[in-house]
Structure 1
Amino acid sequence: MGIIKVENIRVYAHHGCLKEETIIGSDYRVDVEVKADLSTSANTDELNDTVDYVFLNRVVREEMAIPSKLLETVAQRILNRFFNEDQLIQKATVSVSKINPPIGGDVEMVTIVLSEERKN
């Protein structure tokens, strides 16, 4: 089993429970970690035998572009797509952070983390 990480994916998106958040938008950071059997790709040197991190980044960007009230919803959509679209992924963790959230204080970011394992 191996791990592929795509870290600090920076996106501007329109998530939040406040109307202003969905209109104005804000900066987000997404971190992804997937576990998969990478032994075949380590030997074949073929992209088709591994989890393509370009795919992981694309899914994050596409799902972040869909406005949601909750970051949990966005993270779950990302996980669902990972498992539906890449059979090599056995476990995935997605962290979604809202940078400078409007919560009435000097807060760098708030983060939610969801993990899921493939159900066989």
Structure 2
Amino acid sequence: MMSKIFLEDVKIYAYHGVLPEENIIGTYYILNAEIHTDLWDAAASDDLNDTISYADINEIIHDEMKIQSKLLEHVAGRIITKINEKFSQISYIKLRITKTSPPMKGEMKGASIELEKSFLLGGIIENE
């Protein structure tokens, strides 16, 4: 049965980018995560041990965003890997990172990348 956890519009100030000034000045990033796992035990038990704490997911996101990288793809890959390492019951993660002030011409809300990955659960790959 499909269940999902969402973290929406997590706003973090960080220092990522290819240009040297991006690593000095920094900017805001907006992160959105969609995580698939079975939440029905928690729905019945009302026990945090039967679910994945979104506070723990948020902590991983914040910790990884502190590590400077040239590419947002690299940051997203690290976040997805860390979340999966901590919570093996996750079958799928989709993560979008938006740089709110990319150093480009024109006015825009931001530039984004999105990575998604399915994980092996019980010998089968879910959600593919």
Q: TM-score range by the shorter chain?
A: over 0.9
Measure, in 1, the Cα distance between the counterparts of 2:101 and 2:84. 31
TM-score, normalised on structure 1? Answer: 0.97
Q: CA deviation at 1:108?
A: 1.5
| 1:112 and 2:113 are equivalent in the alignment | yes
Report the AA paired with residue 112 of structure 1.
I
Report the AA paired with residue 103 of structure 2.
P
Measure, in 1, the Cα distance between the counterparts of 2:80 and 2:119. 10
| 1:28 and 2:34 are equivalent in the alignment | no
TM-score, normalised on structure 2? Answer: 0.91
Q: CA deviation at 1:100?
A: 1.8
- SS of alignment partner, residue 51 of structure 1: coil
- SS of alignment partner, residue 91 of structure 2: strand
Partner of 2:13: 12
- SS of alignment partner, residue 73 of structure 1: helix
Partner of 1:55: 56
Measure, in 2, the Cα distance between the counterparts of 1:108 and 1:102. 12
- In the TM superposition, what whole-angstrom CA distance separates every residue of 1:5-51 from its partner, at most 9, and x where no partner exists? 01010000000000000011111000111000111111111111111
Sequence identity, in percent?
A: 37
* Structure 1 unmatched runs, 5+: none
| 1:73 and 2:54 are equivalent in the alignment | no
How well do the aligned residues superpose, as a CA RMSD in angstroms? 0.8
- In the TM superposition, what whole-angstrom CA distance separates every residue of 1:31-75 from its partner, at most 9, and x where no partner exists? 111000111111111111111100110011000000000000000
- SS of alignment partner, residue 27 of structure 1: strand
Could you tell me whether the CA contact under 8 Å between 1:101 and 1:108 is conserved in 2?
no
- SS of alignment partner, residue 61 of structure 1: helix
Measure, in 1, the Cα distance between the counterparts of 2:31 and 2:96. 5
* Structure 2 unmatched runs, 5+: 122-128
Measure, in 1, the Cα distance between the counterparts of 2:88 and 2:43. 17
| 1:93 and 2:86 are equivalent in the alignment | no
Could you tell me whether the CA contact under 8 Å between 1:28 and 1:96 is conserved in 2?
yes
Measure, in 2, the Cα distance between the counterparts of 1:90 and 1:70. 25
